[in-house]
Structure 1
């Protein structure tokens, strides 16, 4: 394994203060872009505090990293999140190294080896966790068969005390101008099962596919009560029509309700 220096070690490079600041920035961005940010009940299963933790998810949107930052804060506040990113892209956004993001070269043996080495470094301490968009590239939530890259499977083989938690993400439109940002955690997989990397890959795909199917059914039902609302975004259509609707309600002595669909949470 190549010798590490503070200049290429994501653990040394990460700044908790900068990570908190950037998470706040992403929260404001999502608040403005979405009607609401929601997590399907019952949320994330409890993972023992002394176990290495990997959260792996599908990759439907540009918003996924921002959403994962918010979910990490909400579901696992005592663990510092780290995540891989294509090295070429990270060169354009070098500040993200201070957030726990590390570069990889996908599709190469050298890149795969670097991903494993850096991920193992992250998982050395239980106060850290690894987040991976395991499809490797953008994919529609309806794409089947679901195919994941092999990195998480190799980690599960090499770290038998690790826990892998599947996460499904989706961004549907319901009844408002802005879409919903929806997430659902699935049941964890325990590395103590002692499978080979090939067997792990099949198990990881199966568990994430089931989690995505569950979230898809909840999204189609449009039932806000099935979710905890993490962020209340911007409601109503805005503009001239929104102003007229507000004025009309005032003239009638009615309470103005910008949403088309009432919800209780």
Structure 2
């Protein structure tokens, strides 16, 4: 089996749409632990699986966004319920492959397709909870596919790296929410392992990443993150327009944000220009 084809023009267009979505709907996109993921960008880093908690419709958009920003040189794929994918068939051209849920045939399709992707140098993104779950819910419950896949790939290629990604969308001080992300410690699987034991390790790794993100998120301090993008600021609408006009008439600086504080956190683009580590 070969990895599903990706239409690069369609993918570039879709990524542009996703960037616009984040600018319009979030105050900022902020990330912690980005170096743990970007360090795996080179193909000689071996097979890479990213798995994340699944609390929102936005989660697949996060994977598209991070794939472009942090690992654009590799091709990225993600499974999706086959019935739902038929409603959005255009996504098939962008690395999304259909899987029948809750069936043996669907499980085998997932494993074989994912193995082909990883063998070709692609990256697979998975939400092993397979349904929307509040990010505060514990214990985490995974479908077994992730651990089985990681163990099978370790047998066929020698090793694979599984990276936990924690995601939250809290409101801080502004009208729009923050998109907060944290990559936890990668787990290198380099030998066949009992799938239940490996699953417990994967659950614990993601739970640790989620707890870390929760801890730094409640501090409401952007200095704990690198800032990938800024979205819309201020209240918008009539009141926002009046504030701009008032500032121009009085000669005072216009402060769009609700909290009159400097924007903390490092801008990733500026860091790359200076050669800083993320």
TM-score, L = length of structure 2: 0.88
Cα deviation for residue 49 of structure 1 reads 3.0
SS in 1 for 2:258: coil
| Alignment of 1:180 onto 2:178 | yes
Match of 2:7 in 1: 15
Match of 1:264 in 2: 264
Match of 1:157 in 2: 151
Match of 1:73 in 2: 68
Aligned-residue CA RMSD (Å):
1.5
Cα deviation for residue 60 of structure 1 reads 0.9
- Conserved? CA contact 1:44–1:75, under 8 Å: no
Cα deviation for residue 249 of structure 1 reads 2.5
Which of these residues, 15, 31, 40, is aligned with residue 32 of structure 2? 40
Cα deviation for residue 96 of structure 1 reads 0.5
Q: 1:63 to 1:255 in 2, by over 3 A?
A: same
SS in 2 for 1:82: strand
Alpha-carbon separation, structure 1, partners of 2:220 and 2:4: 43
Matches within 5 A, 1:30-179: 30-45=22-37, 46-47=39-40, 49-50=43-44, 51-126=46-121, 128-160=122-154, 161-179=159-177
Alpha-carbon separation, structure 2, partners of 1:12 and 1:113: 16
Cα deviation for residue 250 of structure 1 reads 2.6
Alpha-carbon separation, structure 1, partners of 2:18 and 2:77: 16
| Alignment of 1:195 onto 2:193 | yes
1:101-156 residue CA offsets vs partner (Å, 9 max, x unmatched): 00011211111111111111111122x11001111001100010011111110011
Between 96-105 and 235-244, the greater mean CA deviation after superposition: 235-244
Cα deviation for residue 254 of structure 1 reads 1.2
Cα deviation for residue 217 of structure 1 reads 1.2
Cα deviation for residue 193 of structure 1 reads 5.0
Match of 1:29 in 2: 21
**5+ unaligned residues in a row in structure 1: which ranges?**
none
Matched length = 256
- Conserved? CA contact 2:4–2:95, under 8 Å: no
Q: 1:227 to 1:67 in 2, by over 3 A?
A: same
Which of these residues, 213, 216, 219, is aligned with residue 214 of structure 2? 216
Alpha-carbon separation, structure 2, partners of 1:203 and 1:195: 11
Q: 1:168 to 1:240 in 2, by over 3 A?
A: same
SS in 2 for 1:123: helix
| Alignment of 1:207 onto 2:228 | no
Cα deviation for residue 173 of structure 1 reads 0.5
SS in 2 for 1:244: helix
Moved over 6 A (4+): none
1:183-238 residue CA offsets vs partner (Å, 9 max, x unmatched): 11111011115421111100000000000111111111111111111111000011
- Conserved? CA contact 2:4–2:97, under 8 Å: no
- Conserved? CA contact 1:167–1:185, under 8 Å: yes
- Conserved? CA contact 1:246–1:256, under 8 Å: yes
Alpha-carbon separation, structure 2, partners of 1:52 and 1:98: 22
